[in-house]
Amino acid sequence: MTTKTPPTAILVEGLEKSFDDLHVLRGVDLAVSPGSIFALLGSNGAGKTTVIRILSTLLRADAGTATVAGYDVASRPAQVRESISLTGQFAAVDEILTGRENLVLVARLRHVVAPGAVADDLLARFSLTEAGSRRVSTYSGGMRRRLDIAMSLIGSPEVIFLDEPTTGLDPQARIEVWAAVKELASSGTTVLLTTQYLEEAEHLADRIAILHEGRILVDGTLAELKALLPPAEVEYVEKQPTLEDVFFTLTKERA
User: What is the rounded CA–CA span in Å between residue 185 and residue 165?
Assistant: 15
The residue-averaged pLDDT of 60-84 equals 96
In a domain, 252, yes or no: no
Beta strands 190-195 and 37-41 are: parallel
In a domain, 183, yes or no: yes
In a domain, 114, yes or no: no
Report the first-to-last Cα separation within the chain, whole angstroms: 53
CATH number at residue 225: 3.40.50.300
Q: Under a CB-based contact definition with an 8 Å cutoff, are residues 151 and 183 in contact?
A: no
Q: How many domains does the chain have?
A: 1
In a domain, 217, yes or no: yes
pLDDT one-digit tens code per residue, 80-122:
999 999 987 776 899 999 999 999 999 999 899 999 999 999 9
Q: Which helix (H) or strand (E) holds 25?
A: strand 22-32
Q: Under a CB-based contact definition with an 8 Å cutoff, are residues 214 and 26 in contact?
A: yes
- 149: closest CA among 172, 117, 126? 126
pTM for the model: 0.82
Chain mean pLDDT for the chain: 88
Domain range for 56? 10-89+156-231
In a domain, 121, yes or no: no
In a domain, 57, yes or no: yes
- 121: closest CA among 83, 145, 151, 165? 151
What pLDDT does residue 73 have?
Answer: 97
User: What is the rounded CA–CA span in Å between residue 103 and residue 108?
Assistant: 9
In a domain, 68, yes or no: yes
In a domain, 29, yes or no: yes
What pLDDT does residue 118 have?
Answer: 94
